[in-house]
Every structure is written in C-alpha cells, then in structure tokens.
Chain A
Amino acid sequence: MLSRSAERLYWLARYMERTENIARLVSVHMNLLMDLPKGVEMDWRQLILINTSEQEFYEKNNIANERNITRFLLVDTTYQGSLISSLSAARENIRTSRELLPDEAWEQVNELYLFAKNNLETITNRRQRVLFLNEILKGCQRFTGLLSGYMSHNDPYRFIRLGKNIERADMTSRILDFASLLLSESRSDEARQYETILWMNILKALNALLMYRQQMHNRINGDDVLNFLLQDANLPRSVSCCLAEIHASVSQLPNNNGLPLKITELATYVKAMDTRQTTQNQLRSILDGLQNKLGELHTQIADNWFLIAAGE
C-alpha cells in the first residue's frame, strides 16, 4: 500500500468522523437549549469554545447568536473546522483514493457532500437544520457501515480505523473539556439544579447515554460520567476504547516501529487519570495533557508511514 494512500485514507476517516461529530454536537446542543429554562448560563458560545475557534469566529461575526454560530460551525466554507469544510476535505481525500475502496464508498461521500452543498442555506431555519443534521448523521453512519461490511479488513481499512479513532479520542477529550466548564466553582445555584440534564447531554453528544445507564446503574453524576467517557473499556467513544482500537490497528500494520508500545503507555496513562474531586482547573490541565499526547501520537504515525509528514 502506498504511503500516499495511507495518508489519504487516514485523513478521509478523520474528516468523516469530524463531520459526524460536529453534526451530533450541534444537534445535541440544540436539544439541550430547548430543555433548559431561559437564564441558565448556557448558550451557543460554548460550541465555539470546544473547537478553540473563538478568535476566528469573532473576526467574522460581531454577535455570538444561534444563527451566526450555527452558520459558522456548519456551513462556513472559509472556516477549516466547519462541517462543510470537513466533508469537502473528506471528499477530496476519497476522490484521490478511489482505487482502494468499494465504489459505493465514493458515491456515499460524494452524495453526502452534494446534499450538504445544496442545502447550506436551509440551516438558518431551526426545523430545516434538524433535518439537515439528521441526514448528515445518517450519511456518516452509512459510510461507516458500508466500509465495515464491504471492505476487507486490510491495511487500507486499518488506516481508516486508525484515523477515525484518533479523531474520536480527540473529540471526546474536547467534549470533556467543555464539560469542565460546567464544573466551574462560580456556577450559579440554578445551573447546579440542572446539572443532571447537562451531564445527560454530554453523554448524548457521544451517543453514550443508554450505555451509561446500563453500565452504571446509579443516578447520573459528573464524576461517573467523566470516568465512563475516559476509561470505560467497552464504550466505542471512550478515550480508552479508542486507544484500544488504535493499538489493534497499529499492531497489525507493517513497520510499526515500537508504536504499539507507545500506545500502551498512553492507555496506561489514561487509565491512571484521577478525575474525582478535581477542581475545574485541574481537570482542564489533565485534558490538555491528553490532547497534547494525542497530537504527538498523530505526529508519530505520520512520520512513520506517510509520504510527507502532514500537519493538520
């Protein structure tokens, strides 16, 4: 398998995963805001904080309202982190790796991209936005299912799995970062009152609510959610589980040059994280550390296998 192809498939998977994550995040956030009474210190701004894109947002917009933020996150083609930019980058990557994938994979991504491109304007309207996001989510799931069902689980597939799980782990850590804002000591009593709803939505953003309930059996609380999302061995979007997937893919790839060992170390590091009774600042620095380590892992993968080590 060509180094160039490995790189493109890895990025294809990352961008598809990112597209799905953005769609789910915006969708869950919409639901959350509908649930919460007015006056609770929750609004759309939190979404741009997660993606650390506050500065770019304010260069383009004056007011951080629903309309501007959803446009920015979903359909701004000039913002690299937007849904449409991710989808378009996924399409470019698959367009140049068609020979490695089943026909339907390209058609699926292409169709999804055309759908998004033709419906960019509809998302201003809340109801239309719900439909738009549902369609994107379905499309991403079809893509994942199609590859898992149609494609040999060979090296190309392993790079896809690798890219997807690095992106997932990164997103989970960002969403937890977002959660850490909720733990702010200065939060109002009213906010404390709705904490359960907030944590439920964090779980929903990672498709983890049902699994949490089945696993934890007790009422939802912040410490448990944090542990579950970082360390659960079976939840597909927990950081530990992503690392296990990454480890499995890397171990089966040729020339992995000691990478499996480094991933095991990272997994041990995550398992040892103690997020109970942490302050907001402590939690943020733990999560920052995790994100840096994931970034380093990406660099090692790129140096090891790709033609030209790619930066994001």
Chain B
Amino acid sequence: MKSIWKNYKTETAYDELMHSECQSRPVSHRLCQYLDSLKKEDIDKRKIAAELAIMEMGISFTVYSDEGNIDRAWPFDIIPRIMDAKEWRVIEKGLKQRLTALNCFISDVYSEQAFIKDGKMPGDIINSSKNFRKECIGMKPRHNVWANICGTDLVRDKDGIMYVLEDNLRVPSGVSYMLENRVITKRVFPELLQNIDILPIDDYPTHLHDMLLSIAPHQDGPVTCVVLTPGIYNSAYFEHAYLAQQMGVQLVEGNDLVVNDDDCVYMRTIEGLEKVDVIYRRIDDDFLDPEVFRKDSTLGVPGLMRAWKAGNVALANAPGAGVADDKVVYAYVPEMIRYYLNEEPILPNVPTYLCSNKEDLDYVLEHLAELVVKPANESGGYGMLVGPHATAKEVEKFRKIIQEDPRNYIAQPTLAISTAPTLCKGKLEPRHIDLRPFILQGENTFVTAGGLTRVALKKGSLVVNSSQGGGSKDTWIINMEAN
C-alpha cells in the first residue's frame, strides 16, 4: 500500500512533522506512523466526527456581514502540530522573560520613562502612540503588572528558529479554541492520546482565575471576579462565555455594572448591588469608560476609570497596557530585556524596519515587493501587505499609504513560515502555521503548554487569522524522555 506521506512536499519551508517526504521527525514519528496505518476512509470518518463535535459543542466564532452576524463553526484540522518538550521549555522561558520585560517597560512608560531618558527609544514613539493613555500616568497596578494576559505569536522560519512575530497585550483571544481543540482531539484520536505523553493544557482556567484573584485590590476575604464582554455580537463572545463558565464567575455586559459615588464597581443582581473586585475585561480601552475615552461607547461602564484609579477595582489587562502592543514598540523589546532584566533575549524578534526611521523607510520603499508591511496598531491581520503575494497595484497603493504616515508602519522580511501536514480534501498537504501561546502574569507567571496553532487553510497563504480563512490545530508538547 502506498504511504500517505508519499508526495508530501517539504522543500519550501520547515515542516513541523516531516523531515522530508516519507520521513517524519522523531517527535512526530508515532503520529505519522499511526496516520499511515489508517485507511483513507478512517481518516475521513474522524474528520467528520470532529466537525460534528464542533457543531454540537457549539464552538463558533462570529463573522460580520451585511446580512447580519453569522455564527460559523470553528474550522479545525484534526492533524495535531507537535513540538518536543525540550524545545518548548526554552520557549516558555523566553516568553516569561519577554512579558516580564514588557511589563517593566509599561510601568516605566507611565512613571519615570527612564528607557526614553536613557536614550534607548525616541520619546516620539510613545507620544504618538494611539494606545498611550495619559490618564494612566502615575498608576501602580498590583505587582507592577499591566499586561496580565498576553498572547504572543511565534513563527518558525526556514532556518528552524522560532521568532516572535508580535505580542498581543490588549485583549488577546483564542485560548478557548486551544482548550476546545484538545477536547475534540481526545474524542477523535483517543487511542493516540492514551499512549503519548502530551503535556496537559486544561488547567488554564484555574491559572487564569488564580491570577485574577492575585491582583484583587484587597487580599482578605472573598474576592468577586467577573468577565466583561462587549456582548453577543462580538466575534469572541463564545470565548468570553466559555472562560467565565470554566472559572465559575459571572459574565457581565457594561450595563450590568455600575460605579457608585463611593467609586466602587457594583453589579446588578437579583439581590441588589454586589461589589466587584476584579474585572477581566474583554473590551478595548477605547470603549471601556465613556466618561474618559470614547463618549459614544455603550459597551463600557461610566466611571470605571475612576474606580480603577481609586484602587477599588482591578482591571486585567490594565488600561494603557496596549502601549506596548504596537509594532514599533515591538522592535525595541530585545533592548528592553537587556535594559530592565540585564539578560540576553532568549527568543529573537523578526528583523523589523521602522518606517519612522529615514534609512529604514528608504530601504522599505525600495524593497516593498519582498517585504511584509504591517500597520503598527491593527490586529486580526487587517490592513497589511504581503509583498511577494501582492499585485503591482497593491504595492503602489501601500507606497503612498506608508509615505503619508510612516510612524504607523513597519516592515519585515517575508518569512518562509513553517508548515504542518493538514487534511485537505482527504489528502495531507503542507499548510503554513503559527503558534500563539498565552502567558499569564500576576503574582506568578504561567505559560500554557503549547498554545493555539493557527493554520492558513488556503494553499500557499501566509494569513492564519480565522476572519480570513484560517483554521486551527491542536498543539502537542511531547515529553520525549518519558516515551
């Protein structure tokens, strides 16, 4: 019988599971062999079983369209992505190091700004950042941590090295899909999970809850945490509800909360008003408090900033933390690690050209067709240019956009980001993937074992965002020594 790994192409990029056609990497050996032992119909059956489970579990995300908001089933590929625990432990350390430095930086930005005074970064970058909130100057969140929840995107280049692509410090999403992906895989490949030593991930909600408790304004007596969602029309509503349920806390919307004259936050319950101590908010700064930020926000809570500044409520992430979620600031993270921690960065950045630098700008404009250009403050893969995949017209359009507002654009070389075998119409084909681990920081720091692997389902595509045709995979960190 012909192997399913015959004709599997690994030449264009590093493949996570396959060393070359028909030759698996040590870490994925058992999986690849197992898949080869299944009949094609068997694999199809499991795919169908996974789709059914997704429908029944109601794992969905919302797509905005003219015909109203539609709930789409979460696109999931049943073939897991695998990494060796030995490699993972290094990455984990690197992620902790990175978030620690970022939090030092945010604290610094809202106090002395020593990083800038010492000439490590031009002050303009902060002053012109739309996520810098002057209202936060002088604030001291508990443990000096501003970004309590971070989703850091990692990609592996052709050379096999993992690079940090970006740090999501505002309201990173995807962790519920990471958890649900494992639940589905357990249903689809129970025999495999039994025999392979995969690090567990389902303790995330417990760690999240512990972290939230650790940042409460008072540490004596019971603490009330809530998850604040913009509501059912938000694309991540499923996740908000999921996390609230897993932690056993209330999921609230803006109008469930009220700030009284005592500058404390209360929720409206059947027993009257009940005090809230910690809010895991999944609403952007802009919409958080109409008294301070956008006046037209109906999603937020009037007075919330007042309560936060009075130290009566903890917000995760803290308002203003997004200042470090800026692709220009990103370029300075390795320097932050050296400056604040006196350590060498464990995880490298992707080389980044800042269009605000004259020299960089010239280089970028000259090499537009080879580069990936990104706006400094967008998420979801919107508003970016992938040079090698763009038409000449698109490239010219971007040239204009960049020249008009150089501060808001960065460029990076187009990486040959790694691939993993993905089930496409019954056949295994390489598709590009990234990895988003989630890091929690409060009193302690915690990193998920692995994270959410996102996959660009379209052949050749490098865009993994679910809003743009991306799917996801379960991520296995395997302890090889135990096997």
When C-beta atoms are compared, the residue in chain A nearest to B267 turns out to be A2
- Contact present for B268 and A3 (CB under 8 Å): yes
Q: Which of A95-103, A136-144, A276-284 contacts B (4 or more CB under 8 A)?
A: A95-103
Q: How far is the CB of A4 from chain B (nearest CB, A)?
A: 5
How would residues 68 to 84 of chain B score, 1 for a CB under 8 Å from any chain A CB and 0 otherwise? 00000000000000000
Contact (Cβ within 8 A) A3 B241: no
Interface membership of chain A positions 237-258, coded 1 if the CB is closer than 8 angstroms to chain B and 0 otherwise: 0000000000000000111000
Query: Given A103-B245, A254-B271, 7 other A-B contacts at CB below 8 A?
Result: A2-B250, A3-B256, A4-B256, A4-B268, A95-B241, A98-B242, A99-B245
- Smallest CB separation, B363 vs chain A (Å): 50
Contact B253 A4 (CB under 8 A): yes
- Chain B contact residue count (CB 8 A cutoff): 24
Please tell me if A5 contacts chain B, counting CB pairs below 8 Å.
yes
The answer to whether B269 and A2 touch across the interface, beta carbons within 8 angstroms, is: yes
Q: Mark B202-213, 1 if CB is under 8 A from A, else 0.
A: 000000000000
Interfacial chain A residues near B248, Cβ < 8 Å: 99
Q: Are A99 and B270 in contact (CB under 8 A)?
A: no
Label chain B's interface by main secondary structure. Answer: mixed
- A195 interface residue, CB < 8 Å from B? no
Query: Which of A45-53, A105-113, A209-217, A266-274 lies at the binding interface?
Result: A105-113
15 A-B pairs with CB atoms under 8 Å apart are A2-B269, A3-B269, A4-B252, A95-B232, A99-B227, A99-B241, A99-B244, A99-B250, A101-B245, A103-B245, A107-B57, A254-B271, A255-B270, A305-B270, A307-B256
Chain A 86-100 near chain B by CB (<8 Å), digits 1 or 0? 000000000110111
Q: CA–CA, A269 to B249, complex, Å?
A: 41
Report the minimal beta-carbon distance from A164 to chain B, rounded to whole angstroms. 17
B255 interfacial contact with A, CB 8 Å:
yes
Complex contacts, B272 vs chain A, CB 8 Å: 255
Q: Which chain A positions have C-beta within 8 A of B250?
A: 1-2, 5, 99
State the Cβ distance, B10 to closest chain A Cβ, in Å.
Answer: 39
Complex Cα spacing A255 to B268, Å: 13
A76 within 8 A of B: no
With the chains together, A139 CA to B36 CA distance in Å? 39
Chain A 162-198: CB-based contact to B (< 8 A → 1; otherwise 0): 0000000000000000000000000000000000000
Asked if A131 is an interface residue, CB under 8 A from chain B, the answer is no
Chain B minimum-CB-distance residue to A100: B245
Which residue of the partner chain, among A95, A99, A101, A307, contacts B58 with CB atoms under 8 Å? A95
User: In the complex, what's the smallest C-beta–C-beta distance from A188 to chain B, in angstroms?
Assistant: 51
B410 within 8 Å of A by Cβ? no
Question: What B residues does A151 contact at CB under 8 A?
Answer: none
B residues lining the A interface (CB < 8 Å): 55-58, 227, 232, 241-242, 244-245, 248-253, 255-256, 267-272
Nearest B residue (CB) for A308: B255
Give the number of residue pairs across the A-B interface with Cβ within 8 Å.
Answer: 64
Q: What is the distance, in angstroms, from B237's C-beta to the closest C-beta of chain A? A: 8
Q: A255–B272 Cα gap in the complex (Å)?
A: 8
Q: Residue on A with the closest CB to B245?
A: A99
B206 to chain A, nearest CB (A): 15
A68 CB to nearest B CB, Å: 28
Q: List residues of chain A with CB within 8 A of the CB of B241.
A: 95-96, 98-99
Cβ distance A305 to chain B, nearest Cβ, rounded Å? 5
Nearest neighbor of B252 in chain A, beta-carbon distance: A2
Question: How far apart sit A174 and B245, CA to CA, in the bound complex (Å)?
Answer: 37
Listed in ascending order, the chain A residues whose CB lies under 8 Å from chain B are 1-6, 95-96, 98-101, 103, 106-107, 110-111, 114, 155, 253-255, 305, 307
Q: Across the A-B interface, give the 5 residue pairs with the lowest CB-CB distance, nearest first.
A: A99-B245, A99-B244, A254-B271, A110-B58, A98-B241
With both chains docked as a complex, state the minimum distance between the C-beta of B137 and any C-beta of chain A, in angstroms: 34
> B459: shortest Cβ distance to chain A, in Å?
31
Complex contact B56–A6 (CB within 8 A) = no
Least CB distance, B348 to chain A, in whole angstroms: 40
Given A99-B249, A99-B250, CB of A114 within 8 Å of CB of B269: no
CB distance from A203 to the nearest CB of B (A): 36
Contacts of A99 in B (CB 8 A): 227, 241, 244-245, 248-251
* C-alpha spacing A264/B227, complex, angstroms: 39
With A95-B232, A307-B255 in contact, is A114–B242 under 8 Å at CB? no
How far is B125's CA from A299's CA once the two chains are assembled, in angstroms? 57
Residue of chain B at shortest CB distance from A5? B250
> In the docked arrangement, what's the CA distance between A155 and B130, Å?
44
Check if A1 sits within 8 Å of B269, measured CB to CB.
yes
Bound form: Cα–Cα A305–B270 in Å: 5
Of chain A, the residue at the smallest CB distance from B244 is A99
**Could you tell me the distance between the alpha carbons of A307 and B232 in the complex, rounded to whole angstroms?**
17
Asked whether, in the complex, the Cβ of A114 is within 8 Å of the Cβ of B267, the reply is no
Enumerate chain A residues within 8 angstroms of B232, measured Cβ to Cβ: 95-96
